[in-house]
Structures are given as structure tokens and as C-alpha cells.
């Protein structure tokens, strides 16, 4: 008998973010129009390539703020690859649930670390603050992956926000960077973007604690 057994039933995907319906209509329109040589694996690689472009733009912004435009292009490429890899597999009915789940989320984690850490390597945000935002995001991701296993629900959004809304928020922040600048506020050693990232990371950690506590209480009541 094989050591690894296929999952008996895929977890229910819960996606209630603001743009979910519009994004789904767009993805459903794109999928049948993609040529056959475009595969889910290639889209996953494309999404990661977009993350590399994002990171390069932030680090090159030390030379000139115009390089931040590269970040915006990278976010679009990252969205295209990351959002379409699973959608295309389901559209063509070529899903490989275990392989796709493992590879997609592993690559997503590395891409997130790369992009957000690179913001901390830019002139606009401290590196330690950027890592706090990454930690908050990863904590909530860990809760999502564990809940998919023990509860059978794979939640793709929290507080009406999901990966697409997060990208748009980061894009808006990137546009604001050369306008606001990375100067410290009142000698605090924190820029506007540092404070923004600290607020976001606090929200993510709070969501992790609240959601984990709620799930634990539910499992305790069920006696499982």
C-alpha cells in the first residue's frame, strides 16, 4: 500500500471577498481562451516570476522611485499566474488535488515571503516591520491549511478580503510610496508605511487568534 493516500474528499472552498464574483467571471472568461500549451504548472511558474519582478522593483527603487512601476507590473503577472493555475486545471478537468494543493501553496508562500520582504528592502519600510507582516500572513495561512484538514473548509478570504484585495492594497501602497516618501514620522524611526504594516500585521495576528480559538471551541463541542 502506498505511504501517501489521496484525500477522500476535497475541502469546501469558502471565498467571500468583495471581488470574488467579478474575479470568477473574469477567470471563467479567460480559461477557455488560453492556448493548449498553457498549462497549470506553467501558470504557477509565471505567478512566481511575477513575484520576482515585484521584489526587483522594490529593491531597485533605491536607485529611482520610477522602478516601483515594475512592482505594479509584477503584481499583475503574479495575479494572472496564481489565480489561473487552479482555475485552468478545474476548467479542463485535469485536477491533481494533492499535487496541486501542495505545489501551489508552497510556491505561494515563497512568493509572499519574497514580495513582502522586498518591501522591507526598499527605502520606504523597515525590514523587521515587513517580516512582522509576513509572520501575520503566514499565521493566518497556517490556520487555513489546518482547518482545511480538520474541519473540511478551505477559507480563501477573511473580513471580505482575499489575495486579490491584498494585491490591490499593496499596489495602492506602492503608488503612494514616491508621493509620501519613506521619511520617519516625528523622530519615531517609523515611516507611514511602517505604521501601516504594523496595523495590518496586528489585524492578521488577531484574526489568527480569534479564528483558532473559535475553531478549537467548535471541535471541543463536537468531541473530535
Q: Which domain holds residue 167?
A: 12-222
| pLDDT confidence tier of residue 59, bands split at 50, 70 and 90 | very high
Q: What pLDDT, on a 0 to 100 scale, did the predictor assign at position 46?
A: 97
Mind listing the pLDDT tens digit for each residue in 214-224? 989 988 888 77
> Quick check: is 4 in a domain?
no
Q: What pLDDT, on a 0 to 100 scale, did the predictor assign at position 153?
A: 78
> Quick check: is 63 in a domain?
yes
> Quick check: is 86 in a domain?
yes
CATH number at residue 145: 1.20.120.1760
> Quick check: is 132 in a domain?
yes
State the alpha helices, DSSP H only, in 61-162: 68-92, 97-119, 127-150
CB atoms within 10 A of CB 63: 8
| In the predicted structure, residue 32 carries a pLDDT above the cut 60 | yes
**Could you please report the per-residue DSSP string of 5-56?**
PPPSSPPEEE---TTHHHHHHHHHHHGGGS-TT--HHHHHHHHHHHHHHHHH
Mind listing the pLDDT tens digit for each residue in 107-153? 999 999 999 999 999 999 999 999 999 999 999 999 988 888 888 87
Q: What pLDDT, on a 0 to 100 scale, did the predictor assign at position 3?
A: 47
Q: What pLDDT, on a 0 to 100 scale, did the predictor assign at position 1?
A: 41
Radius of gyration (Cα) for the chain, nearest Å? 19
Q: pTM here?
A: 0.89
Our count of domains for the chain comes to 1
> Quick check: is 170 in a domain?
yes
**Cβ 82 vs Cβ 65: under 8 Å:** no
Q: List Cβ neighbours of 178 (8 Å cut-off, separation of 6 or more).
A: 65, 66, 68
> Quick check: is 94 in a domain?
yes
| pLDDT confidence tier of residue 4, bands split at 50, 70 and 90 | very low
Q: What pLDDT, on a 0 to 100 scale, did the predictor assign at position 9?
A: 62
> Quick check: is 1 in a domain?
no
**Cβ 38 vs Cβ 45: under 8 Å:** no
Joined together, the cell numbers standing for residue 203 give: 489585524
Q: What pLDDT, on a 0 to 100 scale, did the predictor assign at position 98?
A: 86
Mind listing the pLDDT tens digit for each residue in 168-187? 999 999 999 999 998 998 87
Q: What pLDDT, on a 0 to 100 scale, did the predictor assign at position 11?
A: 74
**Cβ 144 vs Cβ 210: under 8 Å:** no
Locus of grid cell 521584489: 55
> Which of 162, 75, 174, 158 has its CA nearest to residue 124?
174
> Quick check: is 155 in a domain?
yes
| pLDDT confidence tier of residue 197, bands split at 50, 70 and 90 | very high
Amino acid at each position: 500500500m502506498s505511504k501517501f493516500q489521496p484525500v477522500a474528499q476535497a475541502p469546501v472552498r469558502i471565498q467571500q471577498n468583495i471581488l470574488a464574483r467579478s474575479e470568477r467571471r473574469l477567470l471563467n472568461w479567460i480559461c477557455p481562451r488560453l492556448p493548449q500549451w498553457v498549462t497549470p504548472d506553467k501558470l504557477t511558474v509565471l505567478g512566481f516570476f511575477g513575484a520576482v519582478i515585484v521584489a526587483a522593483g522594490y529593491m531597485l527603487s533605491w536607485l529611482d522611485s520610477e522602478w516601483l512601476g515594475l512592482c505594479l507590473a509584477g503584481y499583475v503577472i503574479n495575479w494572472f499566474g496564481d489565480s489561473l493555475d487552479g482555475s485552468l486545471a478545474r476548467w479542463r478537468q485535469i485536477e491533481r488535488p494533492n499535487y496541486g494543493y501542495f505545489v501551489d501553496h508552497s510556491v505561494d508562500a515563497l512568493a509572499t515571503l519574497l514580495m513582502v520582504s522586498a518591501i522591507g528592502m526598499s527605502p520606504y519600510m523597515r525590514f523587521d516591520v515587513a517580516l512582522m507582516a509576513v509572520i501575520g500572513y503566514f499565521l493566518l495561512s497556517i490556520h487555513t491549511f489546518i482547518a482545511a484538514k480538520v474541519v473540511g473548509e478551505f477559507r480563501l478570504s477573511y473580513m471580505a478580503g482575499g489575495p486579490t484585495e491584498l494585491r490591490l492594497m499593496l499596489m495602492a501602497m506602492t503608488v503612494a510610496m514616491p508621493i509620501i516618501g519613506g521619511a520617519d514620522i516625528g523622530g519615531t524611526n517609523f515611516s507611514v508605511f511602517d505604521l501601516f504594516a504594523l496595523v495590518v500585521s496586528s489585524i492578521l495576528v488577531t484574526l489568527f487568534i480569534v479564528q483558532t480559538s473559535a475553531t478549537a471551541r467548535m471541535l471541543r463541542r463536537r468531541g473530535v
